[in-house]
Structure 1
Amino acid sequence: MTQKFPEHTLERLKDTYLSISTSEPDIRGRKVIDRNGEDVGHVEALFIDQGEKKVRILQIHAGGFLGWGGQSFYVPVDAVRQVTPDEVHIDPTRVQVAAAPVYDPELVLEQEPEAWEPAYTHFGYMPYWSSGYIYPGFPVY
């Protein structure tokens, strides 16, 4: 059973007063690579828990041409396995990401933790508001 913490809502980093700490790299705009070495897209935005000042969700944009078209998906930060100067490596495959919950402006406005549950359950990760959840080692902002 999960425990809900409604005070821990998510907001897009660029919509807050927060910024990237100087000790950690900003992964926005970096290419996303799946566990098979395939190009998934790029990190479009970071959704943070303002209460704990931690990234919880990556918004990954895939497809399109020269910035037009394509689709954006939500992927929990727990999926990040490695970050290089140019790339973010994630555990899910490109096919899994393509089947993930898509970007929804209404969800961004809702901000309640349980609204993000489909992104966690799709990839098989424990939601950040669950009892016993342990934040991954990277990234910290």
Structure 2
Amino acid sequence: MASTGSAQKETLNKFISGWKNANAEEMLAVASDDYTQQTLPFSLGHDVRPKQVAEVMLPKLYSILENYELKIHQVVHDVENQKAAVYAISKADTPFGFPWLNEFSAFITFNNAGDKVVNVQEMVDTEFFQKFFPAYQSFLSQNK
């Protein structure tokens, strides 16, 4: 169990490093081939997204976040259940004038070896999400 725990911790640190650097490639480097991601709460109605979608969406999102900062407030790591939870706040400027200020928790699941992330469920600030993403979608459609 100790070696699996060490592998999970190393994987988690790599994932968080990519997150802090707003670097999707770095984050997804530790994602398994069958990786999935889902935005929570369920009431938002978002489907589970496969890795292939995250590989397109994350770089696009990070590309518009200027002066990005991520502050981690809490990390809980449960080796036995192959999970970690991260509570964080990120902030950034955007080219369309809507400030990015997202308070959220990420629930991360590791594979059996602990060297890959197989799933991330991200509980977002719904008030922010419901205001930001229509503005973001409008920006994307105007800047194709």
Q: TM-score range by the shorter chain?
A: under 0.3
Instruction: Decide which structure has greater helix share.
Output: 2
Which of the pair has the greater relative contact order for Cα pairs under 8 Å at 6+ separation? 1
Instruction: Decide which structure has greater strand share.
Output: 2
